[in-house]
Amino acid sequence: MTTQVHFVGSVPLTDAEDVLRTIAAAVGPRAPRMPDGETGAKQGWIMNQHRVFAQHPAFEKYDADSDWRTPGVRRQKYRLKADAALPTAASLGSLGYGDWAKESYATFARLKRDGAIPKTVKLQIAIPSPYDTLNYALDHNDMPKLQRVYEECLFAEVARIVAVVPNDELAIQWDCAHEFEYIATKSPAFFAMSQDDMVALLVRLGRSVPSSVELGYHCCYGNFKLKHFCEPTDTGDMVAVMNAVLAKLDRPVQFVHMPVPADRTDDAYFAPLKNFRPKPGTHLYLGLVHDKDGVAGALKRASAARKVVANFGIATECGLEQRTRDNIAQILAIHRDTAAELDKASAVR
């Protein structure tokens, strides 16, 4: 078996044990990393961080205007009170990621001991970038003041994670979605940032992860009712950003994930990948698995990709948060069968 599979993070099953057992049964050693599924208190991706601002006395809740992504829906956001001092990282307290990792690793280690998951697999912990969390939760006027404070909190969480999970069994993935959505749309729904700002942020995040731990990035364009908030024109923005991040980082990056929309089997979408410059040991995963057209559609997208990049693993374009158990089983089977077909094709080339 040579074709690897990657899971972005969210898998809405009962708990971490259910997620790990289900993935292992479906794809086994094809997945070098397995997520805990972001179940329980961790569910909701960036939504679980709203409690950090809800419980802090410096913030007040307000109803923000609706935007193009969810017209007519006013989201609850947070802003600094007029007379409030700027919170410190210490006052914001725990963000939860370290505690969740400790719980997940206890389950992960037990399942390894029992032989329920492969001995070589690593526990993958996915963390949204601070831009994603703050852009959704805060008044944009407060973001410049709070981004570095929140980053400091995230770096403390990374330190907690690496303290409770053996580093040779750990992979940390930084999720970046709103960044790519802003670059694609320049919509006022997102806090304005330049591509250079985005690269600098992702480099800081990467540097916070010790080199003894695997590091990866998930490029994304959102997930609302099983569709991207905006569709990428092609892989160009992702290639440009990740090339710059990889060039500036002074540590290895083990994996990069890029989504592939279901209707993109054309050469134009994949053409920029010819300019992708991974570090030695960096594995590219393409999110070309879709349940709407199954193995046949995934193979069409893989065939188009292979015209410009020879080696890649497969994944869905985003997490599975909005899926049902039966749908998850279907999607896992598509991963397994697509990977097997790609291995057969490689063997005869």
pLDDT tens digits, one per residue of 216-265: 999 999 777 667 778 899 999 999 999 999 999 999 999 999 999 999 99
How many C-beta atoms surround the C-beta of residue 52 within 10 A? Answer: 20
pLDDT tens digits, one per residue of 302-343: 999 999 999 999 999 999 888 999 999 999 999 999 999 999
> Is 69 exposed, middle or buried (CB count within 10 Å of its CB: 0-12, 13-18, 19+)?
middle
Distance CA 272, CA 337 (A): 27
What residues does 60 pair with on adjacent strands? 79
- The closest alpha carbon to 285, from 244, 319, 252, 255, belongs to 255
- The closest alpha carbon to 86, from 139, 152, 145, 126, belongs to 145
The residue ranges of every structural domain in the chain are 16-348
Looking at residue 348, its pLDDT comes to 63
Angle (deg, nearest 10), helices 178-185 and 195-207: 170
Query: Are 279 and 245 spatial neighbours (Cβ–Cβ below 8 Å)?
Result: no
CATH of domain 16-348: 3.20.20.210
Looking at residue 349, its pLDDT comes to 61
Query: Are 252 and 281 spatial neighbours (Cβ–Cβ below 8 Å)?
Result: yes
pLDDT tens digits, one per residue of 161-207: 999 999 999 999 999 999 999 999 998 888 999 999 999 999 999 99
Distance CA 194, CA 216 (A): 22
- List the structure tokens of 270: 């994949």
